[in-house]
Structure 1
Amino acid sequence: MSTNNFATQSSPSAIHWPDEFRPGRVPIHIRNELNVRASPDSVWQVLIDAQRWPSFYPQASEVDLGGATTLEQDLNFSWKTMGLRINCNVREFEPESRLAWDAKGVGTWAYHAWLITPTATGCHVLTEETQHGWLCRLGQLMMPGSLHIKWHQVWLEKLELEAQCLDAGKNGH
């Protein structure tokens, strides 16, 4: 299952999918994007500050960065999302551009990627996630993909608001 909420500005191939997570090879593919009116730097700073996610994203809780202060390349971290504890490893980390992690939880194996592309008014943020495993297949039967799509869109919209506040603080507003 895949969705486009806005006109695509990045090709789907822009995500560096590991073979086991390529769309078309997994039962769930979620895609959301937003033209964000905030700087790529501020979006990046909010995104890598995973301990802050629960303050603005309702589906995030109990973030544990294992002593790190923010996400970084090869960091193992865990958190709860949609009530499920997942263990993640940061697989891509290109400041202000690209972030991705794999995630494992009971009955679920996922890959979540973020791309940030500068625009004239801020940046374009694309987030995609693919999942497989028995729990995600069961969830797909009980709640067809729209719940994941909705919550990823909420995450993007709240990320924009947080990044705008950070920009305003940098500009002395």
Structure 2
Amino acid sequence: MRYDTTVDIAASPDAVWGVLEDVEAWPRWTRSMTSVRRTAAGHLLPGEHVKVRQPGLPAADWTVTAVDPGASFTWVSKSPGVTTSGTHVVAPTASGSRVTLTIEQHGPLAPLVGVMLGGKTRRFVEIEAAGLRDRLEHETA
């Protein structure tokens, strides 16, 4: 399964990145997260571990696998039979920023997980995108 969503935000890429990189604050602006705990402080770095709790799902351990500061980060969560990756990309536009969020699942159980949780996964990605936009546009208004 792969799902992408894109949202335009009336805020600079630096402002968007600042909110996006502060993953522990996500539960304050997106209903798709109940808690996020990092194992390190400061900027996100490859190899860092993050525990994410989401409504109606078991807690998941994510490992940051790639960071392009100010532009993107990817993290990966592994469970038996499924590897899930989430990518967050910030790009400048004439009026602010464009954010693309992607979730991908691979592995022998990915099709089953997609059937069981695909709708919830897509909703959570949409909620995250809308929450990010609302957080930034409200703050800069």
TM band (smaller chain): 0.7 to 0.9
Runs of 4+ in 1 over 4 A off after TM superposition: 133-136
- Higher Cα Rg, which structure: 1
**Offset from partner CA, 1:34-90 (integer Å, 9 cap, x none):** 111111111111111111111121121232212425533321111113422111111
Deviation, structure 1 residue 137: 3.3
Contact 2:40 2:48 in 1 (8 A): no
Contact 1:42 1:167 in 2 (8 A): no
Give yes or no for the alignment of 1:104 onto 2:60: no
Tell me the amino acid that sits aligned with residue 63 of structure 1. V
Which among 89, 103, 112 is matched to residue 138 of structure 1? Answer: 112
Contact 1:78 1:87 in 2 (8 A): yes
In 2, the alpha carbon distance for the partners of 1:135 and 1:60 equals 24
Give yes or no for the alignment of 1:65 onto 2:34: no
Structure with a larger share of its residues in strand = 2
Deviation, structure 1 residue 160: 1.2
TM-score (normalizing by structure 1): 0.70
In 2, the alpha carbon distance for the partners of 1:156 and 1:64 equals 20
Asked which structure has the greater RCO (Cα within 8 Å, sep 6+), the reply is 2
Percent identity, please.
Answer: 24
Residues 68-87 of structure 1 aligned to structure 2 (within 5 Å) = 68-69=41-42, 71-81=44-54, 82-87=56-61
Residues 86 and 70 of structure 1: is their aligned pair in 2 closer, same or farther, counting only changes over 3 Å? farther
In 2, the alpha carbon distance for the partners of 1:132 and 1:83 equals 18
The 3-state SS of whatever aligns with 2:34 is strand
The 3-state SS of whatever aligns with 1:73 is coil
Which among 120, 125, 132 is matched to residue 159 of structure 1? Answer: 132
Tell me the amino acid that sits aligned with residue 132 of structure 1. H
Deviation, structure 1 residue 91: 1.3
TM-score (normalizing by structure 2): 0.84
In 2, the alpha carbon distance for the partners of 1:152 and 1:115 equals 13
Which among 20, 23, 26 is matched to residue 47 of structure 1? Answer: 20
Q: What are the ranges of 5 or more consecutive residues in structure 2 without an aligned counterpart?
A: none
Give yes or no for the alignment of 1:91 onto 2:65: yes
Q: Pairwise CA RMSD of aligned residues?
A: 2.1
Residues 54 and 110 of structure 1: is their aligned pair in 2 closer, same or farther, counting only changes over 3 Å? same
| Paired position in structure 2 for 1:9 | none
**Offset from partner CA, 1:74-129 (integer Å, 9 cap, x none):** 21111113422111111111122111111124553211111111001101111111
